[in-house]
A and B are shown apart, each in its own frame.
Chain A
Amino acid sequence: MKKNNIHFQFPKTVKTPDRFRNPISKYTIRRNARCVSCGLCAELCPYGVHPRYDDYAKPLRPLDYKCIGFKCKENDFFCIDRCPEQALTLRRNPILDTLGDYRWTAEMLIGHWEMAETGNLPVVDLEYSLGNSGGGFDKIRFKIPDPDDYLNLTDTDMDTSVNLNKRGDGRPVRINAIPCYGGGMSYGSTALSVMTSRAQAATLLNTLTCTGEGGYPDELIPYADHVITQIATGLFGVREETILRAPMVEFKYAQGAKPGLGGHLLGDKVTPEVAAMRETVVGNALFSPFPFHSVYSVEDHKKHVDWVKEINPKALVSVKVSTPTDVDMVAVGSYYAGAHVVHLDGSYGGTGAAPDIAKKNIAMPIEYAIPKVHNFLKEEGVRDKVCLIASGGIRNAMDVAKAIALGADGVVIGTAELVALECVRCGHCESGRGCARGIATTDHELGKIITEQWATQRIVNMYMAWRKQWCEILRQYGLKSIKELVGRSDLLVHLDYLDEEERSKYQPAPQAELII
């Protein structure tokens, strides 16, 4: 099958279970001492919650992460009611109170773990599309569709691709098969196995991933056609050959989680390998300066772009900026400087380490920036010539679709890919041995608890599940291609802008006081 069109053969989903013995689940099932091990529950449950071996009569601990919960009550195989000894108890797992946060709720995390495991949408009743933040994407809904608009097409016939080069400047047309690509996570911030598996997944999905600013390890070379070389202010590991390798080069002017501040890698994570790659000293914290010392104006920026274009005549150029008040002007300036992609990184984006005050308070959320820039580019008459990419707090497939309907061509995903690898968002990526779950770590021992094969498949599975959601949205509105969704903000409603009667037709925004 050809790449770069809608008939691209998407990779197969393969069941890729949790790495750990006890997956975290929404429900718990407890079996008490009344159980006589009759085996009825194992016979009844089609989801495999009650494992049982033929030659072992004793009851085993239920696999409660497979349980679909109270909605099973309507089924005649509901084990709780059918157990002759009433030995089973079903409850909402109290551990959920300690998992997740306002933006990534416990259910959203568990939902994505399930998608990453199966490649399908969760069967458990999980709210994985809405967070609890009380604003932005969490209050925006797609309008109730007209049933007459429904397109009866299979997912195979739906186009979810995005074109990154709209300039028509003779450089290659680059079409990603999904409207997402991986955000920059530097060598040093994540385990090498995570970096390479993200690149493998990007290759299988015919999209891109990004080196981040920590250099280009040789292990990524086999996937070079799908790896963006990032040039950030620290210029760590940036060399002519890494620019020559890249289908797209990304200038990182700012990062949404810490706009106006440079990158920050705490000393504990600067191992000999990381230090060698970045040409620095082992154990010393690394601060990237801010901003580029060579850029004082759009003209200076253009010199940057021209420099990369001169080195690599085939590379596209992306400009990653944060979201200040004048983000619209910055975007237009970037376009006129020659950028193919203007990448807006909103203030609630992810990071390996940032001051809490910056993450919460600096720059605007991406939900505001997308329509602002989209409309300004339209008014300037250049919207069709530039690819607008959004990131920063885009968590799930519905957020992606909403961002596109607000005006983005596509999005960049970071955190969700790590969640697919069972990140629990504990926030301890930054120091000591780093991530206890082996994701955001440079520790040799911890980094080995993730294998490339496992991680690659989990990421592929998650995106394939997301694609199912996108295809369904497109079908509902009679659209064949996700390109037709770009800027269709007329398909969106915001709960706070509806009168009460109209609002009652839509799912309310989740509201709960959380301990974070």
Chain B
Amino acid sequence: MPKKYHIPIKTAEPRHNTIGKYAIIEFREDCAGSCRECVKKKCIYGIFKENYMHLSTMNEPEYLYACHSCFRCVQECTKGIFSRVVNPEYRTLGDDYWKPEIIYKLWYQAHTGKVPVSGAGYRGPFVAAGFDSMWTDMSEIVRPTRDGIHGREYINTCFELSRRVSPLKFGEDMSLVSDVPPILENPIPLMLRLPDAFLSNKHIIESSAKAAQGLDTLLLLRPEDYSDALLPYARNLVPRLNGDNIMDHEDLILKSRAVELAFDSNIQETVRKVRDIKYDLVLIIGIPLDKNAASRAVELTHFDVDTLLFYADENGNELNAEHPRFLKEMIREVHLNLVNNFIRQKINLVFSGGIAMAEHMAKAIICGADGVIVDIPLLIALECRVCHRCRNGLSCPAKIDGKFDSEWGSQRMINLMGAWHNQLIEVMGAMGIREARRLRGEVGRSMWFEDLEMESFGPIFGKRKIAGLK
């Protein structure tokens, strides 16, 4: 049997109390005090376990973050002294894009490495902006393995970072005569990168490097973040360089399998210089995801490079635009421009920015990406609350600005990515897609809000008068 890709998931407890969605409020002044029917003793989740014993002290009402929302204490208390509120601390998590529920679920996955599973139906909006306006399709009959969840290990999630030579040439004796560049494959369609605008320190960097190794993926790293502590992980590190500093980091280039070069007007010259230092290197060009992205992709595909890495802003929006488009539309534009120029197979596309959940990874691939960059979720795995305090040099409420065990940090990141990998497989299994590479640009395995509205509702209701999703 061939070796199967395996992510070593292991429970990694949070260092701080998880901020729950709801809090129970208890108006103790009305408490009977010695009620035999006290609901605190009956709570099936035991969230009052350490609390009800101290009733007699009549302390201030306290929040209990572990509430499972069954409402039984609220409804059964003989004096009706319980109520519930949305935990005000929960409301402060994240921002408009990195919403509290996203952060909360990422914490759970980083803790357990498990796919979030719940009962009852979907609870969210019918449709929303960004990736939430498309659905993945499923196949009623065709399955990749004919064996559902038990055959999931046969689903391949690899993606390539190295360029392809096409067509291959063979000599008269059928030996390969084409100059085949090195092959660099990632077993999971994502790479790691620490977000520039957020805090960084040696513990975070070491955790990320160790996680990249554990996941057998790559961590893109600024040269100033390299240290001797990262030597064991060198195989999984990619230095992020530019035309001005490549000659200063020749040593990094020599010991890396891939290098990221920032796009500039002299990129061709920079590529040549790097190739001179190490010829068989996978070159990734980092490009801003702006209005020129699609045309640059065509231009750069003709150069001697392997992968194009496009950077949207941290919320997945187009850069330098008055009305920025979302990642989904931008991926389509770049991908289709290459398809229309018959060169899509020659290059790999990776997109960065706004990848916040496992489904974003699957949907980005459907739109045309080969892989994605995971950035802010790495910090969320370390209990970051996306409060943005670190941008202003303020202290971190999750205390990741201090010392912590990089073993713990890397395990949290591995758990999170392991859960994402499993979710990708769930979705691919439902679609009947056996390989992530075959999912790339396969919009036929997706359904889009605008199309469904037009197809199903158009004949009934006529022309849509409200554009967008309002």
Contact = CB atoms under 8 A, between A and B. Distances in A.
B121 A415 contact: yes
Size bracket, chain B contacts:
35 or more
Nearest to A300: B141
A353 interface: yes
A2 interface: no
B68 A95 contact: no
Given A22-B75, A23-B75, A289 B148 contact: yes
Interface stretch (B48-56, B243-251, B266-274, B460-468): B460-468
Interface string A457-492: 000000000000000000000000000000001001
A132 to B, nearest CB: 8
Contact of B137 (A253, A363, A433): A363
Given A291-B143, A371-B459, A353 B44 contact: no
Task: Give the residue among A20, A293, A358, A499 with the most B Cβ atoms within 10 A.
Answer: A358
Nearest to B87: A515
A76 to B, nearest CB: 29
A426 B118 CA distance: 9
Nearest to A100: B123
A52 B34 CA distance: 25
B72 to A, nearest CB: 6
B76 to A, nearest CB: 5
A133 B137 contact: no
B400 interface: no
A36 B30 CA distance: 19
Contacts of B299: none
Contact of A22 (B76, B84, B358, B362): B76
Interface string B118-156: 111111111110001001111111010011111000000
Task: Give the residue among A97, A351, A357, A363 with the most B Cβ atoms within 10 A.
Answer: A357
A493 B72 CA distance: 40
Interface stretch (A43-51, A223-231, A320-328): A320-328
Interface in B1-31: 21-22
Interface in A387-410: 392-393, 406
B120 A94 contact: no
A288 B147 CA distance: 10
A98 B69 contact: yes
B349 to A, nearest CB: 22
A152 interface: no
B427 A424 contact: no
Nearest to B424: A357
Contacts of B91: 515
A363 B465 contact: no
B430 interface: yes
A355 to B, nearest CB: 5
Given A350-B120, A352-B119, A355-B115, A424 B456 contact: no
Size bracket, chain A contacts:
35 or more
B38 interface: no
A354 interface: yes
Interface stretch (A77-85, A259-267, A308-316, A335-343): A259-267
Nearest to A494: B461
A179 B78 CA distance: 41
B45 A516 contact: no
B121 A375 contact: no
B460 A261 contact: no
Contacts of B329: none
Contacts of A97: 85-86
Given A135-B127, A515-B86, A516-B124, A254 B140 contact: yes
A351 B430 contact: no
B149 A24 contact: no
B455 interface: yes
A235 interface: no
Given A357-B427, A424-B69, A257 B126 contact: no
B115 to A, nearest CB: 5
Given A355-B426, A494-B461, A515-B86, A428 B70 contact: yes
Given A357-B358, A361-B359, 5 more contacts: A103-B123, A322-B138, A356-B118, A426-B69, A515-B86
Interface of A: 18, 20-24, 61, 94-95, 97-99, 101-104, 132-136, 138, 233, 253-254, 257-262, 264, 266, 287-291, 293, 295-297, 321-322, 324-326, 330, 347-365, 367-369, 371-372, 375, 392-393, 406, 415, 423-433, 435-437, 440, 446, 489, 492-500, 503, 515-516
16 contacts: A61-B80, A133-B125, A136-B126, A257-B121, A257-B122, A326-B140, A355-B423, A355-B426, A356-B105, A363-B447, A368-B457, A426-B120, A433-B44, A437-B71, A494-B460, A515-B101
Pairs A-B, 3 closest by C-beta atoms: A260-B430, A429-B119, A135-B126
